[in-house]
Structure formats: structure tokens, C-alpha cells
Amino acid sequence: MRRPPRLASALAPLALAAGIVLATPLSGSAATQPGPGFPPRYTAPYIETWRPGSSLTEAQQATGLQYFTLAFVISDGGCNGAFDGTTSVTNEGWQAAVNRLRAGGGDVITSFGGGAGTELARVCDSVDSLKAAYRRVIDALNLTMVDFDIEGAALSDTASVDLRNHALADLQREYAAVGRTLSVHYTLPVNPDGLSPESVRLLQNAKKQGVTISVVNIMTMDYGPDLNMGRVATTAADGLYEQMVKIWPEKSSAELWGMQGNTPMIGVNDATNEVFSTEDARVLVNYANDKGIQLLAFWSVGRDQACSTDGLLATTCSGTPQQPADFSHLLTRPRPRPAPDWRPSHCAGLGVAQVSCGGPLGPPVGRTPVSSPGQDGRALWGGQCQSGWNRSVWSRPMVWCRGPVGH
């Protein structure tokens, strides 16, 4: 994915159109607070780090999303990573914005590389120096997930591919030794039928070096021909799956689909005959939910609003008909249903069949209450609850009866 030129923040009009009052400047600290982590399936669009850190807060307020991918960390001219190659990863604005997102239950992935600038593995001259450069970023932002967007010349640079994978394998082992998890994503260009041979070799090298890859994220964009973009996003994923079967034959089908990510460029692509529409987003999210794909993302959250003219390629709008934040909403993954909130104080003495409190499901009917509660406050199974009793208890305090086999 490309790194755009520096412009004034595009998120301000998106936030204002959504009726959001933009955040005041944030204060930061030397290192961000740890994040809560990620659910099994999530949406984490790319947000450009050449913008100020406040743009992350604005994006969250405007879209309602909880997870974002910070793009990109690249070389600052030497073996040191910086946002867009110029802004320190300890920048107060960005650190405070990440803290604020995490305090609300969200989290960030940080992406290294991209379509412009220089990824650190092409600058650092040893495994140790590269590990140190990655570690500075990981520790400054308290990251548990890192993404590597490898494309163009970086993809064919086999020396840097090997060096990067060696460093990542070492880092995963070293963090694991102190009880920390480091999940590695690879974001790669894709054809309508799957990855190029270069991308496959990169993944094979990662496995050989001992890297545990959590996500293979394909950039479903910029193919060249005029294509049905929603449909091709799914055929590319089908092709990737077949390639992953050969790389990781020891994994189950569900595990392999759960390692996939899919990242379209919303609206008008760099190949301007290609347009990823809101209808394409519906096709992709339905497919992803059906297959169990782990990650959906898009390029980029700053473009998630209409342009003044349809068909325009721009860094600040999509060029396709839409309302503000349409793609953010359409590509949002369903949140996992919370487990029932069992509290004995809610249910003690009710004299009913085994009960659970605070759950999302309605009570079954046709069960009869019993008189002796169990020691933990739950009543023992003893027949059937009368439907009228069920309705009464359901209203206070949201209790339903459960039989011994999962009613």
C-alpha cells in the first residue's frame, strides 16, 4: 500500500460529517499502556501515521471501530524505525492516542514497510541490529501484534526477507521467554488467483526460520484489469487458502482460514478502472464471516467518505458514492456474544432449575421449579418450570432456566 504525500488531516471532515466533536490535544508518556488484545475476528483498517496522533482518536469517534493498523514504520535513514520515517514512535500525540484507544477497550497493530520508504530489514546490517530496531518500536507502543507490508523491491530482496524472518523468529522466542506474545502478520500483494511465487517463498522462508505467522493478509487491490472487486477479493482468498494448505499441511482447514486477512482499497484504486464499492464490501464481509477469516482491513480510514466528484482518486476520500464511515460500518465484524454473567446473589433462593444470570437468550418454557437451592446459590435440577414463572423471573434480574444438557 502506498504512503501518500503529506496533507492536512482528512479525518476532520469525516468526523464532523458524523456529528463528532474532535478530541482536544492529548498528552503522552514514554511508553504506552498495555492493550487488551484482539478478539478472534476483528476489523483493523489502516490509518496513516503521517497525520497527527489525534487522527486516531478522531477515527475511532467517527467510525466506532476499536482496532486500527498504524501505517507505516519505516527507516528514518538508518537502522531505526519511525512513523513515516520522520515521527518518533514515542511521539506524545501518538502515544496518548493509543492509550486512549486502549482505555476504551481497543488496540493497535503497527505495520512496518508499505509501498514507499524503506523497511528496516533493508537497512539494518545484522540480525541483532534489526532485532533491536524492531524491539524499540514494539516496546515503545507495547505491541502484541506487528504487521509487515512487503511489496515491490522489498519482496524480491531475498537477503532482507531472510534477515527479517530470522530476527522475527528470535524476537518471538525472546518475548515468549518473559511471558509476552508477539503475533506476526505478513501483508502481501495478491493476484485474482492467489499469491505470486515471491510471496509464497517469503512465507516458506518464515516457516523455515521458525516464525509463527498469525495472519497472511492479502492486498485485494490494484490488479490492473477491470474486475468485479468484491468477487475477486474472494477468489484471491480461495487461491491463498490452497497455497497455505501446501505451506502448513499440518493445520486444519479452520486454522488456515483463521490465519487469513483481506485488505481492499476502498473506492477508486490506484488502477482507477478498479472501484471497490459499498456493495463489494457487503460481499467481502459475508464471505469473511462464512469462512472464519481473522482480519478485515482496508486502505484507508482517512478515505472513508465521499469525494466531491465520483471517480476521483484521492488520499482523503474514496471516489465512490457513500455516506461518511460507510466502509468502516459495513466491514465491521460481529462481536463475540459475552458469556452469561453468573452471580449467585442474583439467583440464590429462587428454587428453580439450574439457572444462569445476565445471558442474551430467552428462557425455555415447560420447566417446573423446585424448592432446594444448591450450595452455590443455584437451584438443583428437579423437573419443569412453569412458563408464567419463567417470564416473571426473566424480568428480574434477567434469569433463565437451563437443563442439565444445555437447554
Task: List, in order, residues 6 or more apart from 350 with CB less than 8 Å away.
Answer: 369, 373, 379, 393, 399
Is-catalytic flag, 242? no
- State the residue for C-alpha cell 481497543: 106
* Burial label, 114 (beta-carbon count in 10 A; 0-12, 13-18, 19+): buried
147 φ/ψ sector (left φ>0, alpha ψ -120 to 50, else beta) = beta
Q: Which residues of 256-291 are buried (b: 16+ CB within 10 A; e: fewer)?
A: bbbbbbbbbbbbbbebeebbbbbebbebbbebbeeb
DSSP-derived 3-state class of residue 151: coil
The alpha-helical segments, DSSP class H, found in 248-325 are 253-257, 278-291
Report d(CA 36, CA 105) in Å as an integer: 6
CB 357 within 8 A of CB 399: yes
> Which member of 119, 151, 198, 242 is catalytic?
151
DSSP category for residue 194: B
Taking alpha carbons only, the member of 135, 142, 119 closest to residue 73 is 119
DSSP-derived 3-state class of residue 223: coil
Question: What values do phi and psi take at 184, rounded to 5?
Answer: -110, 130
Q: Which amino acid is at 310?
A: D
Report d(CA 337, CA 368) in Å as an integer: 28
DSSP-derived 3-state class of residue 225: coil
- CA angle at residue 372 from 371 to 378, to 5 degrees? 110
Determine the length of the chain.
Answer: 407
Report d(CA 390, CA 30) in Å as an integer: 54
Task: List, in order, residues 6 or more apart from 87 with CB less than 8 Å away.
Answer: 49, 50, 94
CB 1 within 8 A of CB 114: yes
CB 75 within 8 A of CB 100: no
Which residues are designated catalytic?
Answer: 151
